[in-house]
Every structure is written in C-alpha cells, then in structure tokens.
Homo-oligomer: A and B are copies of this chain.
Amino acid sequence: MELDQLKPETATPRQVRQYLRDKLVVIASNRGPVEFRRVENGIIKPFRGAGGLVSAMSTALTATDAVWISVARTREDVITALAYPKRRIPMPLENPQYFLRFLVTDKREFHLYYNVVSNSVLWYLNHYMLDLTGNPCFDDEFHTAWKEGYRKVNRLFADEIVKEVRAQGKKPLIFLQDYHLYLCASHIRSRLPEALIHHFTHSPWVEPDYLKFLPTGYRREILEGMLSCDVVGFHTRQYAENFLRCCEESDVLHLKVDSKRGMVVRDGRLTFVRHYPISIDHEALEKLAMRPEVELHRKRLRKIAGERKILLRVDRVEPTKNILRGLKAYRLFLRHHPEWHEKVIFFHFLYPSRQELHEYRNLRREIEEEVHSINREFGTLEWDPVYLEIEDNYLRSIAGLMEFDVLVVNPVMDGMNLVAKEGAVLNRKNGIIIISTRAGVWGELKGAAIPVNPLDVMELAEAMRTALRMGERRKKALSRKARQVVESNTSFNWFLQQMRALQRAEKERGKGTVPEEPPVPPLPRYEHFD
C-alpha cells in the first residue's frame, strides 16, 4: 500500500488501516484521551481528556491495536490501570479499539516536568510571551527541574514506548505530541533506530532570534529531540518555516537545511518538516448538535436575544484568549455607532479555568467588571449589551455556535483555535467569523473570515460593524467558504498527511540518498570556555 500515491480527496480510512495492519501505532501525549475520576456513588468513570486529539487520531485508533501512552493524572487513573492485564486499559471500555497505558510518575517529577518546565517556560516561549525582565530565571532550581523533571519524564515516556514496541514485535509508527515531549525521540531513536517517529507541535513555533532566549544547552537538546524524528509537523506554514529557520541559524548543532523542500539533515539522518492543520470531527459535531438539550439552549438564547443580532465568544477564561480587549472593542463599537444600540447583543459563553491561580481569578473579576461597566454605560430597561455566562457547558456553546451572526475569535497568540472551526461548520445563520491573524486557523480561513490584529481594538470594533452590516449574499459566500474549508480538511486528512510524510521519510531512508555533510564541529566555544 503506497500512501503517497493516494490522493487525500479519494483516500479512505480503510486504505490507511490496511497499511497499518502489520504496524504498531503508538501515540504519546501528556494528557490522555480520558481521565478516570470517582463519581458520587464511588464508581470510577472515565472523563474526556485530550478530546480533539482523540477524534483527530480516530483512524489510527480504530481496529489497529494502537497504544496510547499518557501520564496518569489521578489516583483513579492508576487504580484503573492496575485492574487490567499488563496495565493496558482497553478503550473505549464498552467497545475496545485501542489500549491506553498510563505512565506513573512521582508527584515531584511531574510537577517539575509539567509546571516548571513545560507550562512556565516552553509554553510561554512558543507564544512569544516570556517576561524577560522577570521570569524565567534559569537558576539551579530550574536546571534541576529540567534534569529531574522534563528530561526524566521524556525518558520515561521513551521507556514505555520502547517496551511496547519490543513486546509486540511489529513495525512501530510513533506519534509524539506537543512541547511536553520534545526530548522523547532522542531516547527512542538510540534504542529503535528503525522506528518511524512523528512529532506534532500543537502550539506555535517562534523565530530563531527569539528562540535564543532559551539557554544553549536546552536549545540543543530540544533540536536534537525534534531531529531524532523522521517528521516534525506543525499547524501552519509560518510555524514550520520558523522551525526551519531555527535549524538554519542553529549555533548549537551542525545541520544541513533545505528550506524549500522542508528537509533537515543531521549526522546523516533526515527529518522532514511539514505543516498540516489539525481539524475537528464535523460529523460527530453535527450529531451532537442534534441533541434536544442543544435545542433548548438555542431557544433560551433566542429568547434572550429577541430580534437583536448576536455576537458570540466561546472561550476559556484565559489571558491569551484576549477577552478584555474584545470587550474594549465592543465598547468602542457601541460608542462610535449608536445606531446599533439595542440592535445587538454580545454573548460571552465562557468556561471557568484554573481558578486556583490568582492571575486567573483576577482575570475573571476584571471580565465581570468590564461587562457590568458596559451594561451600565449603554444598557436600557430592555437591553443588556453583554450577556455573560461562565460555566462548564459544552452543549450551550454548541447552541451559541449555531446561532451567532458574528463570532469573535481574537486570541493574542494561538497554535490553532478550534472554536473558529466549530463555528464554521455549526452555524445556521450565515454568520461571519472575526479571526485573529495570530491564530493558526487564520491560515485556513483567509478569505472566509474577517481578520484582525489581536492588539488592535479599533480594528476589531470596525470589524464588528463590517460583519454586522454585510449584505446577505456576501455573508452567504463567506460562511459557505468557511464551512467548506473546515469540512474539506478532515481529521482523517490530517492523519493521512502524517502517514504519507512518514512513508516518504521511510523511502528516503531506504534510498540512502541523504547527502553527506562535513563532520560535526566542536560545541559552541562559550560552553567550553576556560
């Protein structure tokens, strides 16, 4: 089965599964497809974890005996694992298609790997959000966190993966996910030289001049990890190009880079750099939209809105979602365009998030205050310009996404953003999407949505007006285009492209055509200074 001869439009999951028949698919991600928790009556139940990834990976997960490895996050995760032979939990429990394995780490090493390194530094780095004059400070504590947390857990992941591969004896295809697992491939490669390894980064990737804020040693380890893969994937061309430029300008490894063909060679090993945006399972989403609860939410929403045009935001209460600037823009819009008073309502369907953190609690309070202040300034007896609801309620969000006239998605920096994609397929009213140019999805929605610079609230205010005044024909054309774009790039397609890239990599490897390169130079001198 030659995947790269299959056209994405005509390829079927069956063909891919055929290719996968004699292979072992291993997926590794920090968070697993489910998390087990104890519910009221003492029973342990699974709750949806890395949901987007599950549906995106469903082709690989269906009937292929795949294994998914993730960190156990609850006591119940561990208990559940112990209940199954070889700690392999069949998933889904009622209709097993693949196995879930939990990696059990100790509390301290998880904290160091997850909080100290991944989320306090790598995530901020990837979003151009390091606070240079404050944090991070790479001191002995951080170095310890790197060694005993990040590096350690990456090695534990590799150990588990290698164990699975060796136990099954099939040809392995390994899919590593995101910035938590940058180093994992190094440890796999040294023990499984033949394995096909794919890494996908779900956040942005920055340009080399910015990456250099990371100390030399860490940068080298990360690049070594990434370049131990056969393919590294990103959501957008920009991120992939940024990665290629980081390789081109690398002062920590000697690399040969062919940017045009997206190839990097190190020590005679080739890595392909590719970009394919992750998608949603629009069919499953449509099914969910049929649920009667959704209909009830829609009715409630329409009753609140009345004849008014509906602006909508669906987001977690999280700083990069840029909710406050969105409200400021709405205030400007109302101030400058009184003809719209009483004729619009801005629904904020928000999810509470990380309420244990001071910063997040503050943000929530500021949002609430801003909403009240806008409602005080412009509201009337019959009209609150903003309707705010902070509640963990997905079906309500689906209802909102079906009903909006204008969807506001203005994150300051966002790897992809799936709310925009959900809105594009769910909406029933030829609604218009306003999209931040710093969201990965902007690359796909170009020409099908109104772009805004996320820091420019004047532009956002004008975009709201533009969207509201748009004629029916234009609206229809744009919203149809948005829907088509999202529907044509299915999750299957995302996965197929990864498979094809891996197969291509395998062939190149077989040819042995990787160009020779000069010997590895000495380490940058400032590491050996004396």
When C-beta atoms are compared, the residue in chain B nearest to A453 turns out to be B215
Contact assessment for A529 and B463 in the assembled complex, using a CB-CB cutoff below 8 Å: yes
A4 interface hit (Cβ, 8 Å): no
Residues of B within 8 A of A529 (CB): 450, 463, 466
Please measure, in the bound complex, the distance between the C-alpha atom of A64 and the C-alpha atom of B466, giving whole angstroms.
56
Interface SS, A side: loop
Min CB distance A328 to B, Å, is: 6
Contact of A526 with B412 at beta-carbon distance under 8 Å, contacts A209-B238, A212-B437 already known: no
| Residues 427-468 of chain A, each 1 if its beta carbon lies under 8 Å from chain B, else 0 | 000000000011000000001001111111111000100100
Q: Closest residue of chain B to A336, judged by CB?
A: B140
| Copies per assembly | 2
Please tell me if the beta carbons of A143 and B458 are within 8 angstroms of each other in the complex: yes
Please, what's the 1-or-0 string for A1-18, where 1 marks a CB less than 8 Å from any CB in chain B? 000000000000000000
For A140, the chain B residues whose CB sits under 8 A away are: 332, 458
Would A132 and B129 count as touching, CB distance under 8 A? yes
- State the CA gap A438–B238 with chains docked (Å): 24
Which of A289-297, A319-327, A339-347, A514-522 makes up part of the contact surface? Answer: A319-327
Is A133 touching B453 in the complex (CB atoms < 8 A)? no
Question: Judging by beta carbons under 8 Å apart, are A137 and B457 in contact?
Answer: yes
Cross-chain contact of A132 among B139, B413, B437, B466 (Cβ < 8 A): B413
Name the B residues within 8 Å of A207 (CB-CB). Answer: 207-210
Chain B residues lying within 8 Å of A128, measured Cβ to Cβ, are 128, 130, 132, 209-210, 213
Is A470's CB within 8 Å of the partner chain B?
A: yes
A394, CB-defined interface residue at 8 Å: no
Q: Report the separation of the CA atoms of residues A208 and B210 in the bound assembly, to the nearest whole angstrom.
A: 11
Chain B residues closer than 8 Å to A127, beta-carbon distance: 132
Q: How far is the CA of A273 from the CA of B411 in the complex (A)?
A: 34
For A527, give the chain B residue with the smallest CB separation. B459
Specify the chain B residue showing the minimal Cβ separation from A329.
B139
With contacts A129-B132, A455-B137 taken as known, whether A450 is within 8 angstroms of B526 at the C-beta atoms is yes
**Given the contacts A129-B132, A132-B413, A469-B530, A453 and B209 also touching, CB distance less than 8 Å:** no
Q: Answer whether residue A138 sits at the interface, using C-beta atoms and an 8 A cutoff.
A: yes
Would you give the shortest CB distance from A297 to chain B, in whole angstroms?
30
A325 contact set on B, CB distance < 8 A: 137
- Given contacts A212-B437, A456-B215, whether A328 and B132 have CB atoms under 8 Å apart is no
Distance of A456 Cα from B130 Cα, bound (Å): 14
Name the contact of A455 in the complex, choosing from B213, B319, B413 (C-beta under 8 A).
B213
Which residues of A (105-163) have their CB < 8 Å from a CB of B?
A: 127-133, 136-140, 143
CB distance from A477 to the nearest CB of B (A): 13
The answer to the question of A497 belonging to the interface, with a C-beta cut-off of 8 Å to chain B, is no
- A138 partner, pick from B455, B463, B466, beta carbons under 8 A: B455
The 8 closest A-B pairs by CB, nearest first: A133-B319, A207-B207, A138-B456, A215-B456, A132-B412, A451-B526, A215-B453, A139-B457
Residue positions of A touching B, CB distance < 8 A: 127-133, 136-140, 143, 206-210, 212-216, 238, 242, 319-320, 322, 325, 328, 332, 412-413, 437-438, 447, 450-459, 463, 466, 469-470, 474, 525-526, 529-530
